[in-house]
């Protein structure tokens, strides 16, 4: 019997949104479930890219961002928009094919915040998700409409972080 799929959002200004989504993918792989992760605004190397190679193809990560992250501008850079729209197109294709048990749109909410994709497009993804597919959206700045459309919303709140003391991202912890 297939499980019912829900929509989860991990948002807020605190650390841990992508990490929570990756933890879900790891747990799912332990049960034999497949996860596709579409990373918006990320094109650089992160340790999770190496880690998923050890999971026998149960977790796949695809990046749709510049290797130097995204250039924040208003209006947004056309190349950044094109990459984000390619990621959105890939999500729709995976959903049409019901190609995985869990679909994670990492930083999709941030892509909306920076006008790389439209909020309406992300709402359409939520509303057209296959019934048995779990959908996870991550990123800062979830709008009220996205929150209302989701089944589970977790807000990561930063109370204290060592980067305020000048500590850079550490291999295996933040990257």
E strand map for the chain: 7-11, 35-40, 59-64, 102-106, 134-138, 152-155
pTM: 0.91
Query: Are 142 and 14 within 8 A, CB to CB?
Result: no
Q: Tens digits of per-residue pLDDT, 56-85?
A: 789 999 999 988 766 677 788 899 999 999
Query: Are 128 and 95 within 8 A, CB to CB?
Result: yes
Residue 36 banded pLDDT, cuts 50, 70, 90:
very high
pLDDT of residue 1: 45
Q: Tens digits of per-residue pLDDT, 145-154?
A: 999 999 999 9
Q: Which of 147, 138, 135 is nearest to 36 (CA)?
A: 135
Query: Are 96 and 86 within 8 A, CB to CB?
Result: no
Domains of the chain with bracketed CATH:
7-165 (3.40.50.300)
pLDDT of residue 80: 92
Q: Tens digits of per-residue pLDDT, 83-94?
A: 999 999 999 999
Distances (CA, A) of 22 to 59, 78, 100, 144, 162: 9, 29, 15, 24, 22
Dihedral (CA of 99, 101, 103, 104) sign = negative
For 33, the token pair is 């479930």
Alpha-carbon gap, residue 102 to 52, rounded angstroms: 15
């Amino acid at each position: 019997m297939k499980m019912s799929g829900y929509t989860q959002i991990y948002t807020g200004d605190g650390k841990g949104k992508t990490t929570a989504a990756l933890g879900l993918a790891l747990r799912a792989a332990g049960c034999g479930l497949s996860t596709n992760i579409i990373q918006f605004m990320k094109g650089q190397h992160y340790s999770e890219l190496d880690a998923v190679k050890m999971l026998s193809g149960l977790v796949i990560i695809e990046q749709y961002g510049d290797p130097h992250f995204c250039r924040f501008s208003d209006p947004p850079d056309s190349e950044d928009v094109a990459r984000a729209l390619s990621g959105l197109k890939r999500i729709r294709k995976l959903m049409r094919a019901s190609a995985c048990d869990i679909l994670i749109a990492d930083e999709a909410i941030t892509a909306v915040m920076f006008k790389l994709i439209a909020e309406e497009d992300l709402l359409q993804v939520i509303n057209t998700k296959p019934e048995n597919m779990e959908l996870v959206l991550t990123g800062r700045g979830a709008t009220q409409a996205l929150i209302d459309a989701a089944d589970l919303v977790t807000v990561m709140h930063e109370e204290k972080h060592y980067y305020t003391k000048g500590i850079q991202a550490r291999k295996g912890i933040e990257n």
